């Protein structure tokens, strides 16, 4: 196989990576500092003077971190006691070994994917070093706010699921396929709502998600929904009563996007297209809005106790599915490492083996796409399978809106047509892909 292309990096002046490291990441750090500052009283009420001291120390570590980033200082090893530290520090050594003798990995010179993940891990390290606020999620407030901002859209989806799919058992194949396509698209466009692209500013779903699907169709650049349908319906037809069909969803953002994923999961289970759904979330706060176990549990509780009866019914059903073991939540440190997914089999063999049990893995969002493709300067027409670089645990697909400079699997000329007409097509979140790889 031909060598892989170079990684996207801040050293490419004028690129989105450069702009992100120069402007967006410092902005996110400033917001984190501001959040800690605003919660000072809360820390005092909970922990007394110790809380205030911890808040001050954390802020001073984070201000130093922002300065290191802005002045392109060398990246330093992590030094807290969490189990992922050896893997992070080996990765730093590996990056060091790629350079000439006296160069050192640094914020603008090293791969963008690496330094961006590193920033979120350093934010976590700053907190870990400062008990009693060491398990404080600095992004929690923004995630909760965005959930409530999307309330109407969430109600619309829960109502749709409960009302339209009451008779799901009576749907014929064509109708079932239509519903699947609809909810795949809802989940795809749910990925517009992440808070890292907007540096934590409100980016919630306001419009009715189901009504806009037809208009959005033209913005899907790769549409492999037919392949997903064939895989699922064939597996349903072949399945004996004791067999399992398992779909894994590698989650992205909490809030509205998570609801779209839960709705999709509920549909897949109720239609009996699948028998088990396995969600994968993050172990630490990540890329502002990514889903942690706390976010997942909080979301289910919010729905259960909501005033709207469709919302609460969804919440009850999902809680029931979790209890029955047909909806399972997992987390793993691999998801918050900087590694490309092609190294999962070596770095996180247990996770790779777990994913091999799946019939279909759905990777949500932009960051997962970057990790699937290694965040490299691929030509637009390179096949998705090639860009996966031997990462094939099971058939997989990506549901992702474009928010960074990598896209593969396009038709000749398809990407080029935007380069002059719409220069920000890859970063504005307006376009999306449903991209499938059979993995064989």
Please report, as residue ranges, which positions from 251 to 270 form the binding site for ligand F6P (by CB under 6 A).
Answer: 252-253
Residue 190 is a binding residue for ligand F6P (CB under 6 A): no
The tokens describing 273, both together, are 């297209």
Contact characters 213-252, Mg ion, x per CB under 5 A: ---------------------------------------x
Please report, as residue ranges, which positions from 27 to 86 form the binding site for ligand F6P (by CB under 6 A).
Answer: none
Please report, as residue ranges, which positions from 288 to 307 form the binding site for Mg ion (by CB under 5 A).
Answer: 290
Contact characters 351-390, ligand F6P, x per CB under 6 A: --------------xxx-----------------------
The rounded distance, in Å, linking the Cα atoms of 383 and 202 is 35
Shortest Å distance, C-beta 20 to Mg ion: 14
Question: Which of 125, 149, 194, 261: binder of Mg ion (CB under 5 A)?
Answer: 194
| Residue 11 binding: pick among ligand F6P, Mg ion, none (C-beta 5-8 Å cut-off by kind) | none
Which residues share a beta bridge with 401?
432
The tokens describing 274, both together, are 């699948």
Residue 20 DSSP code: I
The rounded distance, in Å, linking the Cα atoms of 413 and 410 is 8
Which residues share a beta bridge with 249?
279, 362
Q: Give the interface segment with Mg ion, choosing from 91-99, 281-289, 384-392, 412-420 (CB under 5 A).
A: 281-289
Residue 404 is a binding residue for ligand F6P (CB under 6 A): yes
Question: Which of 158, 197, 355, 396: binder of ligand F6P (CB under 6 A)?
Answer: 197
Q: Considering only CA atoms, which of 268, 181, 262, 177 is closest in space to residue 220?
A: 181
Residue 437 is a binding residue for ligand F6P (CB under 6 A): no
First-to-last alpha carbon distance for the chain, in angstroms, is 16
Q: Give the interface segment with ligand F6P, choosing from 34-42, 59-67, 189-197, 296-304 (CB under 6 A).
A: 189-197
Helix (H, G, I), strand (E, B), or coil: what is residue 436? strand
The tokens describing 345, both together, are 């089999």
| Torsions phi, psi for 364 (to 5 deg) | -90, 135
Question: Which of 95, 191, 299, 373: binder of ligand F6P (CB under 6 A)?
Answer: 191
Q: Are 130 and 57 in contact (CB under 8 A)?
A: yes
DSSP readout, 281-301? EBSS--TTTB-BHHHHHHHHH
List interacting residues with Mg ion (CB under 5 A).
Answer: 194, 252-253, 287, 290
Binding site for ligand F6P (CB under 6 A): 20, 24, 191, 194, 196-197, 252-253, 287, 365-367, 403-404
């Amino acid at each position: 196989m031909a060598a892989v292309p170079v990684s996207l990096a801040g050293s490419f002046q004028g690129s989105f990576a450069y702009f992100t490291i120069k402007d967006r990441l410092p902005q996110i750090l400033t917001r984190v500092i501001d959040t800690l500052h605003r919660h000072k009283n809360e820390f005092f009420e909970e922990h007394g003077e110790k809380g205030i001291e911890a808040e001050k120390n954390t802020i001073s570590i984070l201000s130093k971190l922002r300065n290191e980033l802005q002045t392109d200082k060398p990246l330093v090893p992590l030094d807290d006691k969490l189990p992922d530290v050896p893997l992070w520090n080996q990765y730093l050594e590996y990056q060091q070994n790629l350079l000439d003798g006296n160069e050192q990995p640094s914020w603008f010179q090293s791969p963008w994917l690496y330094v961006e993940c590193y920033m979120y891990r350093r934010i976590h390290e700053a907190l870990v070093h400062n008990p009693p606020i060491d398990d404080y999620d600095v992004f929690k407030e923004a995630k909760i706010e965005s959930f409530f901002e999307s309330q109407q859209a969430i109600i619309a989806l829960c109502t749709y699921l409960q009302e339209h799919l009451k008779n799901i058992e009576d749907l014929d194949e064509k109708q079932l396929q239509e519903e699947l396509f609809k909810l795949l698209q809802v989940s795809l466009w749910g990925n517009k709502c992440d808070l890292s692209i907007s540096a934590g500013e409100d980016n919630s779903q306001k419009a009715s998600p189901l009504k806009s699907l037809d208009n959005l169709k033209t913005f899907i650049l790769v549409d492999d929904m037919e392949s997903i349908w064939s895989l699922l319906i064939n597996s349903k037809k072949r399945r004996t009563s004791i067999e399992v069909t398992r779909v894994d969803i590698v989650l992205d953002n909490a809030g509205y996007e998570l609801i779209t994923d839960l709705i999709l999961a509920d549909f897949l289970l109720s239609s009996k297209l699948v028998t088990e759904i396995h969600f994968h979330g993050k172990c630490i706060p990540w890329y502002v809005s990514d889903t942690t176990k706390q976010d997942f549990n909080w979301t289910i509780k919010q729905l259960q106790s909501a005033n709207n009866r469709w919302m609460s019914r969804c919440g009850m059903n999902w809680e029931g599915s979790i209890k029955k073991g047909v909806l399972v939540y997992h987390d793993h440190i691999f998801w918050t490492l900087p590694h490309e997914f092609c190294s999962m089999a070596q770095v996180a063999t247990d996770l790779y083996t777990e994913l091999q049990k799946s019939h279909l893995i759905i990777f949500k969002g932009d960051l997962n796409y970057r990790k699937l493709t290694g965040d490299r300067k691929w030509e637009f027409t390179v096949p998705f399978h090639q860009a996966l670089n031997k990462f094939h645990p099971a058939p997989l697909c990506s549901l992702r809106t474009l928010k960074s400079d990598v896209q593969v699997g396009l038709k000749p000329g398809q990407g080029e047509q935007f380069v002059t007409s719409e220069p920000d097509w890859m970063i504005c979140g307006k376009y999306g892909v449903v991209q499938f790889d059979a993995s064989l």
